[in-house]
C-alpha cells in the first residue's frame, strides 16, 4: 500500500500552521478541510457506484446502457483508480514492475475489458477504502511518537541584558540561565537553580507520578513544571538534550527493520511476479485442457486471483505491528533502537546485570554506626565528619549526610594515607579514619567482629584508641526484588549479577535478590569475557543490563544491551540497544513482554493473511468465488490485520 509517511513529515505538518490546544485536540479548519479532501474521491466513487448499481438493478432508465453506462462507471473509477495507475506507472519507470499498484491496475482494467464495470470500480474503491483505514491506523500507531514530538519545547525564556527574553531553544548556549513558568515545558537539560521544583516527566520517562527536584539536581528537557516559576542553568545544547536524543532514537528506530519485516518485503518482490505469471497461466493454459474453453470466464478467474493475491495485508500490517511495539515500549519508558531488537528480545534466556546503578541506587548511605563507650554516638560522628569534610570520596558524602545537633568539630593538619584513609587532628586529638590497613599500620587493635562485615566499613581511632566504625551500603532500588520476580515469570532461566564492587558485597546482594549467581571485583574486561563465554554456550541469548558508562564494552557485545539511566548517560544512548528511561529494573521484564507480544501479533497477521488468501485464491481458480468476494476478503484481511496490530497500543503488561 502507500509508502509510510516519514516521522519528520509528521513533525513538519505539526509546525505548518495547525492550531493545537493543550488538551491535545486539534480544532483547526485547515485540517478538517484536508481530511475532507482526502475522503472526497472515495465518497464520490462510492456514490457513483451505488447509483449505477441501483439503476442497473431496477432498469429504471432505458438510456443507461452502451456508452452512457461505460462512461458513468469510468467517471466513478477515475478518482480512486487514476492515482493507483499513476503509482504503478512510476514504479515501472523506476524498474519495479511487480507491485501491488500493477496488480490492482491489471485486475480493474481487466474487469472493464470484459464488461464487469461495477466490479472494476468496486475493486479500486475498496482498495482506496483500505488505504484510508491503513492511513488512520498508522496515524493512531504513531500517536506515542507524535506525543513525543508535541513535548518538544518551542521557546525558551533566557536571561539576557537584565531581562528574560523568549528565544528559539536551539540558540541557547551552555551556562545560560532560563526561566520556566507553571505549566510550561523545560526547553533544555540543566541543573535547578531554584530551591525545588515539582516536575511531570511522563513524556520522557513514562512515569505518571510527578517528581520533586531540589536545588543543584539535574532536570531534563520535555519535563513540565507543575508548581511555581523556576530557574535553571543549562548544561547541554538543545541538540544534545534528553528529549532531542529520544526523538532521534524513536524516529531512527522505525528505519531499523526486523528480520521478519525484511523477509516479508523480499518475499513480496518474489511473490508478486509469481502471482502475475500464474494469473496469465490461469487465463490461457485451460485452452489446452478444457473442451468448452471461454476466454472471458478464465480471464475473470485470473482477475479474481490477482485481486486476492495482493500482498497488502502483509506489507502493511507487519511493519505496523513492529511500529506498534516500538510505540507501546516508548509509552512504558523503554526505548528500542530498532524493530530488530524487539525480535531479539523474544529469544533472550539469560539475563546478566550489573549491580551498582542497575539494581541499586548507586548512592551510598550509612547502614550502621558502632561506637565504644568512650564517646557517645553524636560526638563520635562529629569527629568522623570533621575528617570526612576534607575528602571528596563518595563514601565521605554519605557520612556527611548524617544529622547531629550542637556545634560541629573542625579538623586540621589532615593528610591522606594512600589507599588507607585520612590522618588529622580534631579538638587537639589525633584522629585516624579509614580501613583496617590504616588501623593495623598504626598499631590499633580492631575488633574481630569487623572481619565478617561484607559492606564497606570506615574505622575510626581517637588518640590511639579504636573508637568505632560505620558501615556504608548502597541501597537496593524499590522495585529490585519485583524485577527478579517478573524476569522469572517471563520465563528467563538464568539471572547472573556481575559487578566491579567487592565480591563479598556482590554475593550478599545477589543472595538477597535471589539471582542464580553473583560475581564481584570484576574489571570491565572481566565482565566482557564472562558475557562472551556465556554467548558461546549453545542456545544462549544474553541480555546485559548496565549503567551504560563502565559497561559500554559489554553492552555492545551482548545480544541485547540494555542501559539504565538513559537520560543521564551519553554512553548508554550511544552503545545500548534498549534504553530504560526510568532506571527501574522491573522494566527489563516489561521489555521482554512487549517484544513477545509484538512478535505474536506479527505472526498472527502472517497466518491470517496467508490462510485466507490461499483459500480464496483456490476457490477463485476453480470458479467458486466472485470478484466481490475477492475484494471483501482482501480488504477484510488487511483491515483485521491492522486492527490486530493496533491492539499493541492498548495492551497493559503486569
Active-site annotation, residues: 354
C-alpha of 410 from chain center: 51
For 475, phi then psi, to 5°, come to: -75, 140
CA angle 363, 555, 234 (to 5 degrees): 55
d(CA 190, CA 233): 5
E-strand stretches of 142-237: 156-160, 163-167, 177-180, 190-192, 196-200, 211-214, 218-219, 224-225, 230-234
Whose CA is closest to 472, among 542, 391, 538? 391
CA dihedral 344, 346, 350, 352 (to 10 degrees): 60
- From the CB of residue 600, how many other CB atoms can be counted at a distance below 10 Å? 14
d(CA 166, CA 179): 10
The secondary element (H helix, E strand) that includes residue 79 is helix 67-93
For 401, phi then psi, to 5°, come to: -80, -5
CA dihedral 235, 240, 242, 246 (to 10 degrees): 180
> Taking a C-beta distance cutoff of 8 angstroms, is the pair 192, 179 a contact?
no
Whose CA is closest to 517, among 525, 527, 507? 507
E-strand stretches of 253-399: 334-336, 350-353, 360-371
> What residues contact residue 231 under an 8 Å CB cut-off, 6+ apart?
177, 178, 179, 180, 192, 193, 194
C-alpha of 165 from chain center: 35
Determine how β-strand 196-200 pairs with β-strand 156-160.
unpaired
Whose CA is closest to 570, among 74, 209, 270, 237? 237
Whose CA is closest to 497, among 554, 452, 540, 451? 554
Is residue 23 classed exposed, middle or buried when 0-12, 13-18 and 19+ CB atoms within 10 A define those classes? Answer: exposed
d(CA 429, CA 436): 20
DSSP string spanning 424-458?
Answer: EEETTEEEEEE-HHHHHHTT----GGGGG--SEEE
Which neighbouring-strand residues pair with 232?
Answer: 178, 192
Amino acid at each position: 500500500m502507500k509508502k509510510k509517511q516519514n516521522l519528520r513529515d509528521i513533525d513538519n505538518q505539526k509546525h505548518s500552521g495547525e492550531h493545537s490546544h493543550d488538551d491535545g485536540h486539534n480544532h483547526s479548519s485547515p485540517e478538517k478541510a484536508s481530511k475532507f479532501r482526502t475522503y472526497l474521491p472515495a465518497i464520490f466513487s462510492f456514490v457513483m457506484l451505488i447509483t449505477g448499481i441501483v439503476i442497473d438493478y431496477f432498469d429504471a432508465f432505458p438510456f443507461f446502457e452502451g456508452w452512457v453506462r461505460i462512461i458513468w462507471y469510468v467517471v466513478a473509477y477515475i478518482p480512486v483508480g487514476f492515482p493507483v495507475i499513476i503509482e504503478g506507472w512510476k514504479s515501472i519507470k523506476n524498474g519495479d514492475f511487480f507491485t501491488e499498484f500493477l496488480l490492482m491496475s491489471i485486475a480493474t482494467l481487466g474487469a472493464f475489458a470484459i464488461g464487469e464495470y461495477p466490479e472494476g470500480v468496486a475493486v479500486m474503491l475498496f482498495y482506496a477504502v483500505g488505504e484510508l483505514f491503513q492511513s488512520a491506523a498508522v496515524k493512531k500507531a504513531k500517536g506515542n511518537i507524535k506525543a513525543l514530538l508535541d513535548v518538544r519545547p518551542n521557546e525558551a525564556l533566557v536571561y539576557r541584558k537584565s531581562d528574560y527574553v523568549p528565544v528559539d531553544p536551539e540558540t541557547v548556549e551552555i551556562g545560560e540561565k532560563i526561566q520556566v513558568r507553571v505549566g510550561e515545558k523545560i526547553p533544555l537539560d540543566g541543573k535547578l537553580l531554584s530551591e525545588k521544583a515539582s516536575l511531570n516527566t511522563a513524556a520522557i520517562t513514562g512515569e505518571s507520578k510527578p517528581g520533586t527536584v531540589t536545588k543543584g539536581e539535574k532536570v531534563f528537557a520535555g519535563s513540565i513544571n507543575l508548581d511555581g516559576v523556576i530557574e535553571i542553568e543549562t548544561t547541554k545544547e538543545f541538540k544534545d538534550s534528553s528529549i532531542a536524543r529520544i526523538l532521534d532514537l524513536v524516529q531512527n528506530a522505525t528505519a531499523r527493520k526486523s528480520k521478519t519485516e525484511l523477509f516479508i518485503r523480499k518475499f513480496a518482490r518474489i511473490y508478486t511476479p509469481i502471482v502475475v505469471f500464474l494469473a496469465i497461466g490461469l487465463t490461457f493454459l485451460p485452452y489446452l485442457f478444457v473442451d468448452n474453453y471461454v476466454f472471458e470466464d478464465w480471464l475473470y478467474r485470473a482477475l479474481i486471483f490477482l485481486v486476492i493475491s495482493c500482498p497488502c495485508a502483509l506489507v502493511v500490517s507487519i511493519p505496523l505491528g513492529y511500529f506498534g511495539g516500538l510505540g507501546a515500549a516508548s509509552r512504558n519508558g523503554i526505548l528500542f533502537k530498532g524493530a530488530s531488537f524487539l525480535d531479539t528480545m523474544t529469544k533472550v534466556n539469560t539475563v546478566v546485570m550489573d549491580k551498582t546503578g542497575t539494581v541499586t541506587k548507586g548512592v551510598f548511605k550509612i547502614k550502621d554506626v558502632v561506637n565504644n563507650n568512650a564517646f557517645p554516638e553524636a560526638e563520635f560522628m562529629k569527629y568522623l565528619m570533621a575528617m570526612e569534610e576534607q575528602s571528596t570520596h563518595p563514601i565521605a558524602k554519605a557520612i556527611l549526610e548524617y544529622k547531629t545537633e550542637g556545634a560541629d568539630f573542625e579538623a586540621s593538619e589532615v593528610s591522606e594515607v594512600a589507599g588507607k584513609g585520612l590522618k588529622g587532628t580534631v579538638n587537639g586529638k589525633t584522629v585516624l579514619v579509614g580501613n583496617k590497613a590504616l588501623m593495623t599500620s598504626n598499631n590499633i587493635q580492631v575488633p574481630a567482629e569487623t572481619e565478617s562485615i561484607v559492606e564497606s566499613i570506615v574505622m575510626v581511632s581517637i588518640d590511639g584508641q579504636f573508637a568505632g566504625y560505620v558501615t556504608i551500603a548502597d541501597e537496593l532500588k524499590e522495585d529490585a526484588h519485583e524485577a527478579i520476580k517478573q524476569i522469572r515469570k517471563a520465563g528467563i532461566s538464568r539471572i547472573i549479577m556481575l559487578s566491579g564492587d567487592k565480591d563479598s558485597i556482590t554475593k550478599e546482594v545477589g543472595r538477597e535478590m535471589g539471582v542464580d549467581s553473583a560475581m564481584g571485583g570484576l574489571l570491565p574486561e572481566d565482565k566482557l569475557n564472562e558475557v562472551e563465554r556465556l554467548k558461546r554456550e549453545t542456545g544462549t541469548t544474553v541480555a546485559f543490563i548496565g549503567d551504560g558508562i563502565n559497561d559500554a564494552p559489554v553492552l555492545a557485545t551482548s545480544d541485547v544491551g540494555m542501559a539504565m539511566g538513559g537520560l543521564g548517560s551519553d554512553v548508554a544512548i550511544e552503545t545500548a540497544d534498549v534504553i530504560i528511561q526510568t532506571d527501574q529494573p522491573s522494566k527489563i521484564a516489561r521489555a521482554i513482554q512487549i517484544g513477545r507480544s509484538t512478535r505474536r501479533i506479527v505472526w498472527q497477521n502472517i497466518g491470517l493473511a496467508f490462510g485466507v488468501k490461499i483459500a480464496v485464491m483456490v476457490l477463485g481458480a476453480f470458479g467458486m468465488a466472485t470478484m466481490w468476494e475477492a475484494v471483501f476478503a482482501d480488504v477484510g484481511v488487511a483491515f483485521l490485520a491492522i486492527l490486530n496490530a493496533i491492539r499493541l497500543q492498548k495492551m497493559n503488561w503486569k
